[in-house]
Amino acid sequence: MIICAVDPSVNNVGIALYDTKINKLQLWQFHPPKLQIQYVASCIANEIFLASIEEKVNVIIIEYPTFQNSAKGHIAAQKGYTLDLAYIAGAVPALLRLNSDQIHLPTPLRWKGNAPKAAVGRRFERRFGLESTKYSDHEFEAAMMIAWFMDDKPERASSRSS
């Protein structure tokens, strides 16, 4: 089974692919072009498709955005970034032609709780035996969404509840 996780951002996208048959994790960061969000979503889907060309992605996990009541959250909402990320969460699985039971859209609170990036990085190091400092926070957070999925086996794929 190929599990893909995406930590979306308007500037940097972390992508993780995990092959459960051979226990192989691939991580990379993708810098989407500063163009219309529809094009950005198709670029992300293309990145995933090309990386998993030998075997189709069976499950995709994309962090679903939530409004953060902070200065940073207000700016993101005002600039439309929150809606852009929500669009990506819906468009990428559709472009990959995945069924609803293959799609998981956890909010940050659901998959990592209130853990800061540094704590998630330490969890990543323990789980995968890799140094988090060698990866962007988007990459290791994508990997940890895969760990969340494998540990919790969420029942409803499209659930957005925290």
Computed over every residue of the chain, the mean pLDDT equals 85
State the burial class of residue 92 (Cβ atoms within 10 Å of its Cβ: 0-12, 13-18, 19+).
buried
Task: Say if 9 falls within a structural domain.
Answer: yes
Q: What is the total count of domains within the chain?
A: 1
pLDDT digits (tens, 9 = 90+) for 18-60: 999 999 999 999 888 776 777 787 888 887 877 765 678 899 9
Residue 99 falls inside a structural domain = yes
The structure's pTM equals 0.83
pLDDT in tens, 91-107: 888 888 888 899 999 99
Could you tell me if residue 161 is inside a domain?
no
* Residue numbers of the domain that contains 62: 2-152
Residue 70 covered by a domain = yes
The tokens for 76 are 């993101």
Residue 108 lies in a domain: yes
In a domain, 162, yes or no: no
Average pLDDT (54-71) is: 84
At residue 12, the pLDDT reads 87
> What pLDDT sits at residue 54?
62
Q: Which of 73-77, 112-116, 135-139 has the highest mean pLDDT?
A: 135-139
Report the CATH number that the domain containing residue 51 is assigned in CATH: 3.30.420.10
Is 27 domain-assigned?
yes
In a domain, 158, yes or no: no
| Edge-first strand listing for the sheet containing 2-7 | 24-30, 13-19, 2-7, 59-62, 103-104
